[in-house]
Amino acid sequence: MGFVASSKPRRIDQLLANGGYCSRSEARVWLRMGRVTVDGVRAIDPGAKVDPTAVRVDSEPLDAPDDLLVLMHKPAGRVCSHDVREGPSVYDLLPPRWQDRNPVVTTVGRLDKDTTGVLLLTDVGSLVQQWTSPRHKVPKVYEVTVDKPIPVTLVEIFARGELMLEDEERPCQPAVLEILSPKEARLELTEGRFHQVKRMFEAHGLNVTRLHRSRFGAYTLDDLAPGTWRMLTIPGPEEENATVGSEKGAVA
Ligand code: URA
């Protein structure tokens, strides 16, 4: 399975509509107004097939003409949901026009509202499937604080892969627990069940009071501030878990 971004020629009106800029009929108007150029030349025909990287709207390049992959430092207090009834969302931190992109931009798995850290977002459905499938065992690392001292025996219990969570039929996959201080630990999981970290500790009488994901696959936050994000290059098949260079910043 390959995830190489395509820059193959596309219709101008389709590019603008799929990028969330405007509808296809509005694109005709934008072209008539002279807002769109291709290779520096004013575009006229909405059906013309053009190289997406050569297109400018109001003199600006298209923000993400091809497949999209974003690394966000999720702040606390935001949900990974498109449903506005659930409150402030991680999607509100992205350019507003991305809400109208087609295909839709979604998170790769979810983090709870109070969880912070590495969150990937993409419009490549196959990437979401692959990176969230337990079969692919993508490592995820969490920094955990709990309300009581962590028993050393938990290291062995988590490692054995025999921990049963309530209402689940299969035990958790083996997980690596490193105790950093009496109430702090680092936990590496290769699956991503609903509230998994919190439930694993709760199964042993400990409540998680702080949860931060410091790594997803090979992706880490580096100096990314909470609430900000950067674009990533979609990895090729031979480097599916690698950060293949990144382009920092936000899109106006
Ligand atoms: N496990 C949890 O309990 N919550 C998260 O947000 C992520 C993993």
What is the full DSSP assignment across 147-164? SSPPPTHHHHHHHHT-PP
Catalytic residues: 112
Q: Which CATH number fits the domain that encloses residue 35? A: 3.10.290.10
| Structural domain harbouring 171 | 139-216
pLDDT at 239: 62
Q: Which amino acid is at 217?
A: G
The half-sphere exposure of 249 on its side-chain side, counting CA atoms within 13 A, is 5
What is the token pair recorded at 123?
Answer: 């419009």
Same domain, 127 and 234: yes
pLDDT at 112: 98
pLDDT average per 10 residues of sequence, the chain (252 residues): 58 96 97 97 97 96 91 98 96 96 97 98 96 95 98 97 92 97 98 96 97 97 97 79 39 34
pLDDT at 251: 37
Phi, psi for residue 231 in degrees, rounded to 5: -75, 145
d(CA 173, CA 161): 5
Contact indicator for 151, 139 with CB cutoff of 8 Å: no
SS3 204: coil
d(CA 139, CA 141): 7
Please report whether residue 3 resides in a domain: no
Same domain, 212 and 222: no
Ligand 1 atom nearest to 198, measured from its CA: 3
Same domain, 111 and 224: yes
Please report whether residue 88 resides in a domain: yes
Please report whether residue 5 resides in a domain: no
Same domain, 111 and 168: no
Which residues have CB under 8 Å from 115's CB, separation 6+? 74, 76, 211, 212, 213
Contact indicator for 232, 71 with CB cutoff of 8 Å: yes
Same domain, 28 and 128: no
Q: What is the best residue among 72, 80, 110, 115 to mutate for testing ligand 1's pocket, by most ligand atoms within 8 Å of CB? A: 115
What is the token pair recorded at 92?
Answer: 């509100």
DSSP string, 102-118: SSPPEESS---TT-EEE
d(CA 186, CA 144): 6
Ligand 1 atom nearest to 192, measured from its CA: 8
**How remote is the CA of residue 197 from the centroid of ligand 1, in Å?**
5
Please report whether residue 250 resides in a domain: no
What is the token pair recorded at 224?
Answer: 């990314």
Same domain, 115 and 222: yes
Same domain, 126 and 229: yes
Ligand 1 atom nearest to 195, measured from its CA: 3
**How remote is the CA of residue 194 from the centroid of ligand 1, in Å?**
7
Which residues have CB under 8 Å from 8's CB, separation 6+? none
**How remote is the CA of residue 51 from the centroid of ligand 1, in Å?**
41
Total domains, the chain: 3
pLDDT at 238: 64
